[in-house]
């Protein structure tokens, strides 16, 4: 990883009462990377990391794209998972990734919402409770990054998201359009791409039992039990009882595990215990489900023989390189609280925003 010169600090703000310097932005000596915190609300700090592509070409007829990557969870770190385990320039062994998207676009990773990854809040009341609140914070961050950078203003921004990140993406896109039309945000929105997006939770949960029956992971009795819970979820969603629906979603996961010999939720060909992702049925909670998602990606990369331990990396050499993460703060320590605070929105669909 490139060493960072202490002279490339762009801006420092003293946070009263915290006793450390919040660096608004730092960058590598060659300017290819830039990162920092944006105080999107008082005492709510969102971390971002930008990579400029070495292949970038300034061509007005074909503007170079910027990809904003949004992770799922909620509470999973784009700066960690999306960057080092999926599309960034280095893997978790800090070796070059041949398939990095940086070959075709500039990359912007954000730990969103506040409390995710390196992002943090100084007061637990500041965790967002809705996707729209998360979008407002993200839009504030984009204003800070794009409004001061004329080069980025010429590049179309593509919002790319997976899993729960899809809900962030569609709400953010609408916020971006409103902000640009109002002249508050200098940005060209190129498009939105959603992968395995959680924009319609009802469709997901109703598909699980039939699929698992088709692959002989659930018998008729198991399907009947699952149908009872999914019908309860349907009624809760119809009644606007979204927090209760989230609890029922967790109940459904536990039921599927006990009725299917603990099927692996990310690979129905495997049982619990056959890979590091699997959890015992009694451990399935919303917060644990997010952790399963992180371990799943780690497992895939480790199986391919090209990944190290992400927690160790983010709290070790990466934190040391960045130099601006609070010394007493651990990457991901507030992530469970992010999930808990969004329980009232977790099962809420975002189909209308897409259509």
Domain boundary among 197, 215, 241: 197
Q: What are phi and psi of 110, to 5 degrees?
A: -135, 135
Per-residue pLDDT of the chain (355 residues; tens, 9 = 90+): 444 433 333 333 333 333 333 446 788 888 899 999 999 999 999 999 999 999 999 888 899 999 999 999 899 999 999 999 999 999 999 999 999 999 999 999 999 999 999 999 999 999 999 999 999 999 999 999 999 999 999 999 999 999 999 999 999 999 999 999 999 999 999 999 999 899 999 999 999 999 999 999 999 999 999 999 999 999 999 999 999 999 999 999 999 999 998 888 778 888 865 554 333 333 334 445 545 544 554 444 444 434 568 899 999 999 999 999 999 999 999 999 999 999 999 999 998 887 7
Beta strand ranges found along the chain (DSSP E): 11-14, 21-27, 33-41, 44-51, 66-70, 106-110, 120-121, 156-162, 188-195, 263-264, 267-271
* CB neighbours of residue 207 within 10 Å: 11
The candidate with the shortest Cα–Cα distance to 77, out of 313, 317, 348, is 313
Task: Look at the chain and report how many structural domains it folds into.
Answer: 2
337 inside domain: no
232 inside domain: yes
18 inside domain: no
Same domain for 169 and 208, yes or no, is no
Same domain for 84 and 48, yes or no, is yes
Domain boundary among 197, 221, 252: 197
Range of the domain at 102: 31-197
End-to-end CA distance of the chain: 42
316 inside domain: no
**DSSP string spanning 179-208?**
HHHTTS---EEEEEEEES--S-HHHHHHHH
Same domain for 69 and 137, yes or no, is yes
Q: Collapsing DSSP states into helix, strand and coil, what is residue 260? A: coil
Domain boundary among 165, 197, 229: 197
Q: Collapsing DSSP states into helix, strand and coil, what is residue 61? A: coil
Q: Which pLDDT tens digit goes with each residue over 260-318?
A: 988 887 788 888 655 543 333 333 344 455 455 445 544 444 444 345 688 999 999 99
Same domain for 172 and 97, yes or no, is yes
93/317 Cα distance (integer angstroms): 11
The candidate with the shortest Cα–Cα distance to 310, out of 324, 296, 328, 289, is 296
334 inside domain: no
Same domain for 129 and 62, yes or no, is yes
Same domain for 205 and 188, yes or no, is no
Same domain for 38 and 179, yes or no, is yes
Q: Collapsing DSSP states into helix, strand and coil, what is residue 323? A: coil
User: Structure tokens of 226?
Assistant: 């699952």
347 inside domain: no
144/242 Cα distance (integer angstroms): 33
User: Structure tokens of 284?
Assistant: 């399935």
**Percentage of residues in the chain having pLDDT higher than 90:** 71
Name the pTM for this structure. Answer: 0.84
Q: Which pLDDT tens digit goes with each residue over 222-273?
A: 999 999 999 999 999 999 999 999 999 999 999 999 999 888 877 888 886 5
The candidate with the shortest Cα–Cα distance to 34, out of 151, 160, 186, is 151
């Amino acid at each position: 990883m490139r060493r960072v010169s202490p002279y490339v600090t762009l801006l420092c703000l003293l946070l009263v009462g915290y006793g450390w310097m919040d660096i608004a932005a730092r960058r590598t000596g060659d300017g290819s990377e830039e990162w920092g915190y944006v105080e999107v609300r008082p005492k709510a700090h969102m971390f971002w990391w930008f990579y400029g592509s070495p292949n970038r070409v300034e061509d007005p007829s074909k503007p170079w794209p910027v990809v904003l990557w949004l992770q799922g969870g909620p509470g999973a770190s784009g700066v960690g998972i999306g960057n080092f385990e999926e599309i960034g320039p280095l893997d978790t062994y800090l070796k070059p990734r041949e398939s990095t998207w940086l070959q075709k676009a500039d990359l912007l990773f954000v730990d969103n919402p506040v409390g995710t990854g390196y992002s943090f809040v100084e007061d637990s009341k500041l965790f967002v409770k809705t996707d729209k609140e998360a979008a407002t914070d993200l839009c504030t961050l984009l204003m800070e990054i794009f409004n001061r950078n004329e080069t980025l203003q010429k590049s179309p921004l593509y919002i790319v998201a997976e899993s729960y990140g899809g809900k962030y993406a569609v709400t953010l896109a609408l916020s971006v359009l409103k902000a640009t039309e109002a002249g508050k945000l200098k940005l060209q929105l190129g498009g939105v791409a959603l992968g395995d997006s959680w924009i319609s939770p009802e469709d997901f949960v109703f598909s699980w039992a039939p699929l698992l029956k088709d692959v002989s992971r659930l018998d008729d009795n198991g399907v009947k039990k699952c149908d009872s819970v999914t019908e309860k979820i349907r009624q809760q969603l119809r009644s606007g009882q979204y927090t209760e629906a989230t609890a029922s979603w967790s109940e459904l996961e536990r039921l599927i595990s006990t009725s299917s010999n603990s099927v692996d939720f990310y690979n129905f060909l495997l049982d619990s215990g056959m890979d590091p992702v699997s959890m015992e049925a009694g451990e399935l909670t919303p917060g644990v489900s997010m952790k399963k998602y992180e371990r799943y990606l780690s497992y895939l990369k480790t199986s391919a023989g090209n990944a190290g331990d992400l927690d160790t990396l983010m709290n070790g050499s990466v934190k040391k390189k960045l130099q601006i993460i609070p010394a007493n703060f651990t990457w991901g320590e507030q992530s469970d609280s992010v999930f808990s605070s969004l329980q009232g929105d977790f099962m809420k669909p975002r189909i209308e925003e897409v259509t």
